[in-house]
Structure 1
Amino acid sequence: MQLINGDCLEKLGGVDTHSIDLVVTDPPYEIGTAGAGIYKQKDKSYIKSLTFMSNGFDKTVLDELVRVMKKINIYIFCSQKQIPLLINYFVKQRKCNWNLLTWHKTNPVPACGNKYLSDTEYIFFAREKGVKIYGSYQTKRTYYLTPSNVKEKKLYNHPTVKPQNILENLITNSSKTGDTVLDPFMGSGSTGVACLSKHRDFIGVEINEEYFKTAKERISNVLRA
Structure 2
Amino acid sequence: MLPDIQLNHRDCKEGMASQPAESFDLVVTSPPYNLGIKYDTYEDRSERSDFITWCLEWAAEINRVMSEEASFFLNLGASPKNPLLPHQLLLALTEAREGESPMFVLQNTFHWIKSISVETKDKGMVSAGHFKPINSKRYVNDCHEYVFHLTKSGEVPLDRRAAGVPYVYKSNIARWGHTQGEDKRCRGNTWFIPYDTIQQRDKDRPHPATFPVALVEQCIKIHGLAESTRMLDPFNGIGSSAIAAMRQNIASYTGYDIDEGYLAVTRQRIEAEQQQTPELL
TM-score, normalised relative to structure 1: 0.84
- 1:28–1:42 contact (8 Å) kept in structure 2: no
- 1:97–1:127 contact (8 Å) kept in structure 2: yes
For 2:111, the equivalent position in structure 1 comes to: 102
Give the SS at the match of 1:46: coil
For 1:164, the equivalent position in structure 2 comes to: 213
* CA spacing shift, 1:85–1:156, aligned 2, 3 Å: closer
- 1:22–1:69 contact (8 Å) kept in structure 2: yes
The amino acid across from 2:65 in the alignment is V
- 2:26–2:71 contact (8 Å) kept in structure 1: yes
Alignment length (residue pairs): 215
Question: Following TM superposition, by how much is the alpha carbon of 1:112 offset from its aligned partner in structure 2, in angstroms?
Answer: 4.3
Percent identity (aligned): 23
Q: Which of 120, 142, 146 in structure 2 is aligned with 1:118? A: 142
Question: Following TM superposition, by how much is the alpha carbon of 1:97 offset from its aligned partner in structure 2, in angstroms?
Answer: 3.8
Distance, in Å, in 2 between the alignment partners of 1:54 and 1:69 is 27
* Structure 1 runs not aligned, ≥5 long: 32-39
- 1:78–1:121 contact (8 Å) kept in structure 2: yes
Give the SS at the match of 1:70: strand
Give the SS at the match of 1:151: coil
The amino acid across from 1:62 in the alignment is A
Moved >6 Å (runs of 4+): none
Which deviates more, 111-120 or 181-190? 111-120
Distance, in Å, in 2 between the alignment partners of 1:41 and 1:218 is 23
Q: Which of 216, 232, 236 in structure 2 is aligned with 1:182? A: 232
Distance, in Å, in 2 between the alignment partners of 1:68 and 1:184 is 11
User: Residue 70 in 1 paired to residue 73 in 2?
Assistant: no
User: Residue 54 in 1 paired to residue 48 in 2?
Assistant: yes
Distance, in Å, in 1 between the alignment partners of 2:95 and 2:158 is 17
Query: Map of 1:191-202 to 2, 5 A cutoff?
Result: 191-200=241-250, 201-202=252-253
* CA spacing shift, 1:52–1:180, aligned 2, 3 Å: farther
- 2:39–2:207 contact (8 Å) kept in structure 1: no
- Deviations along 1:109-161, whole A, 9 cap, x unmatched? 22142323222211111123342211413374322335443418831412222
Which deviates more, 179-188 or 193-202? 193-202
For 1:18, the equivalent position in structure 2 comes to: 22
For 2:189, the equivalent position in structure 1 comes to: 142
Give the SS at the match of 1:75: strand
TM-score, normalised relative to structure 2: 0.68
- 2:77–2:145 contact (8 Å) kept in structure 1: yes
* CA spacing shift, 1:164–1:101, aligned 2, 3 Å: same
Question: Following TM superposition, by how much is the alpha carbon of 1:203 offset from its aligned partner in structure 2, in angstroms?
Answer: 0.5
Distance, in Å, in 2 between the alignment partners of 1:203 and 1:152 is 29
- 1:77–1:124 contact (8 Å) kept in structure 2: yes
Distance, in Å, in 2 between the alignment partners of 1:204 and 1:44 is 18
Give the SS at the match of 1:63: helix
